[in-house]
């Protein structure tokens, strides 16, 4: 009898996490130091444990302009954390028998075509949401990024056939937003609702996400919403919100800490709402969190992980002791977010920010997570702080060297003459780029994305630098011209001048041919 009682006590004791979790005051201090270390105006953080919200606070300010406090209810674009919603919606359609994960995309979108005919015919709905298309990282993102372009979902469907693969189909992971845009169109065609209507009425409303919207332009009350910020020319400044509604299925959702924790509680409750309504079968929820596209694990992984990869709209890995972690991050111009769940610990962590430096959310998430997993204090603040400082210094040094050479090239009489490079250039999927000269300087303009306009500055005998007028993009590129035997340009390609440039500025995927 005594043995049985001891065993019962051991079992009961093991049901609770016995590690010393980070205290509220410690977390407050960590977040305040994170704001300063990474120059982030505002951060909101939430922790859900055993079905209860044990932390939900905002720190700093939601905007450098209005100086209003960031709080737990402040709305933030969660960006690619929207992808989990897209896949959940598709899974609901699978559950209703209107869709199968392994349906060919052309069954639902007959006009869908990719670069290779055999891949077009083999491509499934599952392939749309698992980043294994064979295309390069962020291929085609310039069709929605930055805001202000005139591409719509039909343009995306029509133009992906021009994106040449960089690896064989299903062989490598390469993050791709446009496939999620197309997945959103699949949802529309099988459900009869727009992606936005479906997400809000079929998921957010029954789950209880009362303050969230499926798109920035659907937010009516903007009295407590962030402004975006980024580091521009060495200083953090406020920038306009930037997101194209075309890409909502890839990253359009606006939410806050309480609503995202409500989403986490619902997911970790086996897809059952607080009102005991099941939105998705156990089988389909299980399918969402199964590994589809593997990723390598570093030899000295920080969390002793054995596997890592992508499921259906979620990154998946195991952390200390084999705990399965389901997570995602999101990034827009001026904001980054992180959403983490460890279901067998009944733990969720949400970090929302209004400055685009991922080291800030990693600092907070890892510190909180470590306290529940039993790791000693690993001082993530200093770890990521030092890395971030070094990375910024490295990128700034590259830019400084490039523009020093630009200054010298301005005096070089051997640089190409205006008549050699001015005119129009066309890329099959991005459209027309115009290079003009006004007797003093060159201008580069992207017809279908007019916010991408800037100076074109000589660099060497075959290369110029495109310096975009909007300095918050931090996306200046080399423009490499090819010339014919007469010395006139016949085409051009582009490449980043510094690695800090967001991969969604995929200028490197352009193949420009001079048309006149």
Q: Are residues 372 and 477 in the same domain?
A: no
322 within some domain: yes
Q: Which of 337, 503, 427 is nearest to 151 (CA)?
A: 427
What are the distances in angstroms from CA 182 to CA 111, 122, 195, 292? 11, 16, 11, 19
Q: Are residues 131 and 262 in the same domain?
A: yes
CATH of the domain at 459: 2.40.128.50
Per-residue HEC secondary structure of 387-427 comes to: HHHHHHHHHHHHHHHHHHHHHHHCCCCCCCCHHHHCEEEEE
Distance of alpha carbon 490 from the chain centroid? 35
Distance CA 69, CA 62 (A): 6
86 within some domain: yes
Q: Are residues 387 and 416 in the same domain?
A: no
> How do residues 331-385 score in pLDDT, each as one tens digit?
999 999 999 999 999 999 999 999 999 999 999 999 999 999 999 999 999 999 9
398 within some domain: no
- Measured in Å, how far apart are the chain's first and last C-alpha atoms? 92
Distance CA 454, CA 459 (A): 15
402 within some domain: no
Residue 511's pLDDT is what?
A: 98
Q: Are residues 323 and 427 in the same domain?
A: no
17 within some domain: no
* Residues in contact with 402: Cβ distance below 8 Å, sequence separation at least 6, in sequence order: 459, 465, 476, 497, 498
Written as six digits, the tokens of 205 are 């409303």
Written as six digits, the tokens of 437 are 């000269």
Q: Are residues 227 and 284 in the same domain?
A: yes
Domain count, the chain: 2
Is the entire prediction scored with pTM above 0.85?
yes
* Residues in contact with 226: Cβ distance below 8 Å, sequence separation at least 6, in sequence order: 42, 62, 63, 70, 74, 75, 76, 77, 335, 354
The residue among 335, 362, 392 that closes a domain is 392
Q: Are residues 387 and 429 in the same domain?
A: no
Question: Would you call 219 helix, strand, or coil by DSSP?
Answer: coil
Q: How many CA atoms lie within 13 A of 127 on its CB side?
A: 20
Q: Are residues 379 and 422 in the same domain?
A: no
Mean per-residue pLDDT pooled into runs of 10, the chain (516 residues): 39 46 95 98 98 98 97 98 98 98 98 98 98 98 96 98 98 98 98 98 98 97 97 92 94 98 98 97 97 95 96 98 96 96 98 97 98 95 98 97 96 91 98 96 97 97 97 97 97 98 97 97
What are the distances in angstroms from CA 234 to CA 110, 230, 239, 254, 499? 48, 10, 14, 28, 16
The residue among 392, 427, 452 that closes a domain is 392
Q: Which of 474, 486, 482 is nearest to 511 (CA)?
A: 482
Question: Would you call 60 helix, strand, or coil by DSSP?
Answer: strand
397 within some domain: no
Q: Are residues 184 and 124 in the same domain?
A: yes
Distance CA 269, CA 276 (A): 10
405 within some domain: no
Strands (E), 361-503: 423-427, 431-437, 442-446, 453-458, 463-468, 477-483, 489-496
3 within some domain: no
CATH of the domain at 344: 3.40.710.10
Question: Would you call 83 helix, strand, or coil by DSSP?
Answer: helix
In terms of residue numbers, what domain contains 349?
Answer: 22-392
* Residues in contact with 408: Cβ distance below 8 Å, sequence separation at least 6, in sequence order: none
Q: Which of 207, 194, 330 is nearest to 262 (CA)?
A: 207
Q: Are residues 346 and 425 in the same domain?
A: no
Q: Are residues 356 and 211 in the same domain?
A: yes
Distance CA 210, CA 215 (A): 14
Q: Are residues 108 and 197 in the same domain?
A: yes
Q: Are residues 498 and 421 in the same domain?
A: yes
Distance CA 173, CA 160 (A): 18
* Residues in contact with 268: Cβ distance below 8 Å, sequence separation at least 6, in sequence order: 51, 341, 343, 346, 348
């Amino acid at each position: 009898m005594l043995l049985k009682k001891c065993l019962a006590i051991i079992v009961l004791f093991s049901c609770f996490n016995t590690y010393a979790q980070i205290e509220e005051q410690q977390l407050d201090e960590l977040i305040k130091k994170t704001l300063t270390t990474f120059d982030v105006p505002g951060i909101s953080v939430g922790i859900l444990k055993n079905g209860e919200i044990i932390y939900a606070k905002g720190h700093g300010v939601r905007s450098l302009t209005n100086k209003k406090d960031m709080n737990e209810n402040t709305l933030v674009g969660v960006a690619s954390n929207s992808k989990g919603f897209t896949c959940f919606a598709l899974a609901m359609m699978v559950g209703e028998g209107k869709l199968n994960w392994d349906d060919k995309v052309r069954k639902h979108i007959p006009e869908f075509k990719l670069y290779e005919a055999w891949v077009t015919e083999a491509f499934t709905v599952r392939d749309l949401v698992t980043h294994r298309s064979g295309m390069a990282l962020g291929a085609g993102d310039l069709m929605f990024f930055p805001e202000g372009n005139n591409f719509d979902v039909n343009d995306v469907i029509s133009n992906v056939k021009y994106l040449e693969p960089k690896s064989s189909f299903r062989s490598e992971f390469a993050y791709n937003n446009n496939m999620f845009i197309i997945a959103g169109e699949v949802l529309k065609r099988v459900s009869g609702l727009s992606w936005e209507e479906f997400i809000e009425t079929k998921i957010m409303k029954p789950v209880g996400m009362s303050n969230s919207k499926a798109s920035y332009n659907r937010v009516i009350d903007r009295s407590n919403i962030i402004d975006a910020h980024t580091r521009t020319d060495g200083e953090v400044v406020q920038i306009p919100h930037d997101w194209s509604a075309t890409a909502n299925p890839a990253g359009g959702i606006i939410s806050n800490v309480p609503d995202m924790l409500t989403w986490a509680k619902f997911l970790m409750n086996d897809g059952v709402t607080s009102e005991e309504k099941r939105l998705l079968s156990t089988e389909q929820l299980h399918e969402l969190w199964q590994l589809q596209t593997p990723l390598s694990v570093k030899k000295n992984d920080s969390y002793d992980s054995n596997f890592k990869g992508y499921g259906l709209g979620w990154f998946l890995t195991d952390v200390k002791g084999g705990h399965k972690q389901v997570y995602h991050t999101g990034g827009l111009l001026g904001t980054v977010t992180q959403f983490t769940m460890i279901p067998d610990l009944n733990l969720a962590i949400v970090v929302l920010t209004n400055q685009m430096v991922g080291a800030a959310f990693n600092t907070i998430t890892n510190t909180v997570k470590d306290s529940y997993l039993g790791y000693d204090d690993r001082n993530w603040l200093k770890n990521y702080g030092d890395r971030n400082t070094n990375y910024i210094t490295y990128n700034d040094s590259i830019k400084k060297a490039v523009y020093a050479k630009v200054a010298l090239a301005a005096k070089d009489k051997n640089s190409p003459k205006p008549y050699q490079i001015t005119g129009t250039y066309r890329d099959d999927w991005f459209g027309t780029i115009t290079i003009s000269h006004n007797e003093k300087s060159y201008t580069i303009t992207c017809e279908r994305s007019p916010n991408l306009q800037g100076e074109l500055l000589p660099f060497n005998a075959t290369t110029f630098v495109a310096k975009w007028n909007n300095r918050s993009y931090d996306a200046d590129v080399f423009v490499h011209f090819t010339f014919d035997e007469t010395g006139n340009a016949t085409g051009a390609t582009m490449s980043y001048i510094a690695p800090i440039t967001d991969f969604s500025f995929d200028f490197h995927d352009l193949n420009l041919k001079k048309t006149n």
